[in-house]
Amino acid sequence: MLVLIVGPLTAWIARRAARERKEATDSLEHFTVRMPAAPRVILAACAVLFELIMLAAYVWQGLSLGIWDHALVWFGHAMALAGMGIWALVSLPRLDVDGEYIVIRTALGRRKRAMFSQITRATLHTQMMSVVLYAGDCGGERKLATVNLEGTCATNLLARLAQEGIEVADAVQAPMTKARLCWAAIKPLTLVFVGMAMVFSLVIAFMALFTDEGAGLLVIIPFLFILIGGVLPLIMLSMPIRGAHEITLQERELGFSFAQEMAARGATGTEFEDDDWFVSISNARIVAFRRDYIKRLSAVEGTESGDRCVVTAKNGKKHKVYAAGSTLEDLRTWYRRGPRQRSMADRAADALETLV
């Protein structure tokens, strides 16, 4: 199921969404930020498809076997409602820019109106793919909106904020350590898994309420959260731990403390570049190397496990580094030419490239 359906479907959605973002308007005066059409259409189609599949199974079983299992119908209803609920959460939020005015619609359908002159600052969280806008008034600063970075014209919004002279800061300001990098790498996946557990739990609660199984089904819910919300994120933790282990090898070889080095350089968040260090998170993996540890960098190549390059250390040890191709190319560019000066809009564009 995952290999034959979910993987290709996810890749298709990512490509269509990237094309929609590319074809969107370049105007900074009039644009709309919202989730691309492809994932919204797929979610709505899946909701209807769940209902039809369960209804077809109900009718076939009744006509051929004489067993009219009403639980199938209720299961179809539950899955359809869950699908439409996710569709609403994805489809309703939008941000419309019309000259100096911003009109925001939240996931609950609530509308807010503001002007760019009221926005005091914004924060960008590249791992969570979100931009948060803050507005100030006589009552103090308040959170105005959270904008999905994957939406069409999200980079237009960042460019407009820069044009207005509104500060866009990194949402993560904590000192950089290996543990924080590992958590930042799997945090989005963890939230997705917890969300899946919540959706499945609501489906089970719906079935318990409207079928003969009753409260017996509710016993499954804690196990869902343990398995999907707990065990799966721990399994995914193996991806960033490999990068953290590579940092540890560098610490032993060169005799330094990563946390102390980052603190001395004022590095915070999840990305950092200077003459000596390249640190980034890509596809739930940590890519972090100190220049004097590297002897040679190979070209980026595609494999069945994803894009990778080989880093040869000064002691001859070879590291197979897996990440998005754009991140690995950034690593090679840094090694050849030194650190880049990147704005928040550049970081957002780099984050979007890893999705395709």
Determine the distance from the C-alpha atom of residue 106 to the mean position of all C-alpha atoms in its chain, rounded to a whole number: 19
Question: Residue range 281-293: average pLDDT?
Answer: 92
Structure confidence at residue 356 (pLDDT): 57
At 144-186, the pLDDT tens digits run 889 988 888 888 898 899 899 888 888 888 889 999 999 989 9
DSSP-based three-state secondary structure for 138 = coil
What are 328-355's pLDDT values in tens digits?
A: 999 999 999 888 777 677 777 777 666 5
Kindly give, in sequence order, each residue whose CB lies less than 8 Å from that of residue 260, ignoring residues fewer than 6 positions away: none
For the entire predicted model, the pTM comes to 0.79
Confidence class of residue 7 from pLDDT cuts 50, 70 and 90? low
pLDDT score, position 319: 92
Which of the four pLDDT bands, split at 50, 70 and 90, describes residue 214? low
**Distance separating alpha carbons of residues 107 and 28, to the nearest angstrom:** 24
First to last CA, the chain: 21
pLDDT at 75: 84
> What is the structure's pLDDT at 3?
46
Write the CA distances from 142 to 67, 121, 135, 136, integer angstroms: 57, 10, 5, 6
Nearest Cα residue to 85 out of 232, 215, 198: 198
Reported as a single tens digit per residue, the pLDDT across 264-286 is 998 888 889 999 999 999 888 99
Q: State the average pLDDT over residues 40-59.
A: 86
Mention every residue, 6+ apart, whose C-beta is less than 8 A from residue 241: 182
Distance of CA 116 to the CA centre of its chain: 27
Average pLDDT score over residue span 123-145: 83
Q: What is the pLDDT of residue 181?
A: 93
pLDDT at 243: 93
The stretch 130-145 carries a mean pLDDT of: 82
Residue 23 CA to residue 167 CA, distance in Å, equals: 27
Beta strands 167-170 and 119-125 are parallel
The CB-based long-range contact list for 140-144 (8 Å cut-off, 24+ gap) reads 144/104, 144/112, 144/114, 144/118, 144/119
Average pLDDT along the chain = 86
Q: How many residues does the chain have?
A: 356
Percent of the chain clearing pLDDT 90 (strictly above): 30
In this prediction, residue 199 has a pLDDT band, given cuts at 50, 70 and 90, of confident
Question: Of 62-71, 123-132, 144-153, 208-217, which gets the smallest average pLDDT?
Answer: 208-217
User: How high is the pLDDT of residue 217?
Assistant: 76
Query: Which pLDDT belongs to residue 24?
Result: 83
User: For residues 170 and 122, is the Cβ–Cβ distance under 8 A?
Assistant: no
What pLDDT sits at residue 168? Answer: 86
pLDDT above 80 for 111:
yes
> What's residue 2's pLDDT?
46
Q: Which pLDDT belongs to residue 90?
A: 87
User: pLDDT at position 6, please?
Assistant: 57
Report the pLDDT value the prediction gives residue 179, as an integer from 0 to 100: 93
Confidence of residue 252 (pLDDT cuts 50, 70, 90): very high
pLDDT-derived band at 1 (thresholds 50, 70, 90) equals very low
Cβ atoms of 225 and 201 within 8 Å: the answer is yes
What mean pLDDT comes out for the span 112-136?
88
